[in-house]
Amino acid sequence: MVARAARAADLARLDAAVSDCFACPRLVRWREEVARTRRAAFRDQEYWGRPVPGFGTGDARIAILGLAPAAHGGNRTGRIFTGDRSGDVLFAALHRAGLANQPTSVAADDGLALRDLRIFSAVRCAPPDNKPTPEERDTCAPWLHREVTLIRPTLRVVVALGAFAWAAWWPVLRQVYGQRPPSPRPAFGHGAHWSGTDAPDLLGCYHVSQQNTFTGRLTPEMLDDVFGQAKQLAGVD
Contacts with ligand SF4 by CB under 6 A lie at 18, 21-24, 27-28, 51, 123-125, 136, 139-140, 143
Tell me the closest approach of the beta carbon of residue 120 to ligand SF4, in angstroms: 11
Smallest distance from ligand SF4 to CB 66, Å: 13
Where b means 16+ CB within 10 Å and e means fewer, 163-186 reads bbbbebbbbbbebbbeeebeeeeb
Minimum CB separation from ligand SF4 for residue 193, in Å? 28
Question: From the CB of 144, what's the least distance to ligand SF4, in Å?
Answer: 9
Q: Which is nearer to ligand SF4, 137 or 156 (CB)?
A: 137
- What whole-number distance in Å separates Cα of residue 217 and Cα of residue 200? 27
Comparison of 22 and 42: residue with beta carbon closer to ligand SF4: 22
Closest contact distance (angstroms) between CB of 96 and ligand SF4 is 31
- Strand, coil or helix: 15: helix
Shortest Å distance, C-beta 172 to ligand SF4: 15
Other C-beta atoms closer than 10 Å to the C-beta of 16 total 11
- When the beta carbons of 92 and 168 are compared against ligand SF4, the nearer one is 168
Distances in Å between the alpha carbon of 126 and those of 27, 44, 148, 157?
Answer: 7, 20, 21, 25
Kind of pairing, strands 117-121 and 55-56? antiparallel
Nearer to ligand SF4, 18 or 202 (CB): 18
Q: Which is nearer to ligand SF4, 18 or 117 (CB)?
A: 18
- Name which of 51 and 87 has its Cβ closer to ligand SF4: 51
Question: Could you tell me which residues come within 8 angstroms of residue 123 by beta carbon, excluding any fewer than 6 positions away?
Answer: 27, 67, 68, 132, 136, 137, 140
User: What percent helix, strand, coil does the chain show, rounded to 5?
Assistant: 45, 10, 45
